[in-house]
Amino acid sequence: MAKYKLEGKAVIITGASAGLGEQFAHGFAESGANVVLAARRMELLEKIAKDVSDKHGVTAIPYKTDVAVESDIINLVKHTVEQLGTVDVLVNNAGMYIVKPLIEQTLEDWHTVMDVNLTSAFLATREAAKVMIPKKSGSIVNISSTFGFGGTMFTEVSYYVSKGGLVTMTKALAVELGQYNIRVNAIAPGFFPTAMSIGAMEDKKLRETMIEPRTALPMLAKNEWIRGAACFLASEDAKYITGHTLAVDGGWLAY
């Protein structure tokens, strides 16, 4: 990954105990940023934080956070300011899904997915903005999905809606916060081999009938290929980009 000028920046990453969150941690650290890694699984966070710090020589702080709990998010931002002095970048990466047909989906299922995928991003952005507005600078990167642009064969309606909501929230907050020089963008990943999607990617029939035919490039993704997109959007190289959703999908949305 090309290194971006992020030395000394204070970055919060939610959903950082595995998958793309771990990749974002390494990407920002490689570019010199200090990172606060937030998730529920403290043992995994501590391992990743040590790995990030050892490899890149930055401060990496694990902080146990349930993003579905408002007070946890408030405390996450407060802790970041206490430890790193500010918040320069927020990556709203936490996400989950529940696969059930519509008629089997409960209201609890719906709220569970919305709370983790969408409401948490709203809350974290609200709290980070309280730090960013007075200094008139900051970057928010929301992690949406190609599924935020339409349905597929998977029966996970709340996931589609939550990720589509992130795209729209990105635009709305880009407009609202732009006057403070706070940029809000999103990334829409396609199929990456994380714990959330590896089952689909390893299903030969699904891969050959759905994933590969809609991947324009002649290869499937590697997890580390997501790093550069987030660091770019957070960097000065993207200082005139806001309200945009960048697809990192091998051409999935081109079809």
**pLDDT digit string (tens) for 115-145?**
999 999 999 999 999 999 999 999 999 999 9
The band of 75, judged by pLDDT with boundaries at 50, 70 and 90, is very high
pTM listed for this prediction:
0.96
> φ, ψ for residue 9 (rounded to 5)?
-70, 145
Bridge partners of 12? Answer: 36, 90
pLDDT at 178 over 80: yes
Q: How many domains does the chain have?
A: 1
Is residue 131 domain-resident?
yes
**CATH number of the domain that 64 lies in?**
3.40.50.720
Mean pLDDT over 78-97 rounds to 98
Rounded CA-CA distance 221/148 in Å is: 19
Q: Is 63 an annotated catalytic residue? A: no
Of all residues in the chain, the percent with pLDDT exceeding 90 is 93
Is residue 189 domain-resident?
yes
Mean pLDDT over 60-76 rounds to 98
pLDDT of residue 2: 80
pLDDT of residue 39: 98
Is residue 3 domain-resident?
no
Are 210 and 204 within 8 A, CB to CB? no
Mean of the per-residue pLDDT values of the chain: 96
pLDDT at 197 over 90: no
The band of 202, judged by pLDDT with boundaries at 50, 70 and 90, is confident
Annotated active-site residue in 4, 63, 97, 159: 159
Is residue 4 domain-resident?
no
- By residue range, what is the domain housing residue 53? 10-247
Mean pLDDT over 183-189 rounds to 98
Are 196 and 139 within 8 A, CB to CB? no
pLDDT at 1 over 80: no
Nearest one of 175, 148, 146 to 160, comparing CA atoms: 148
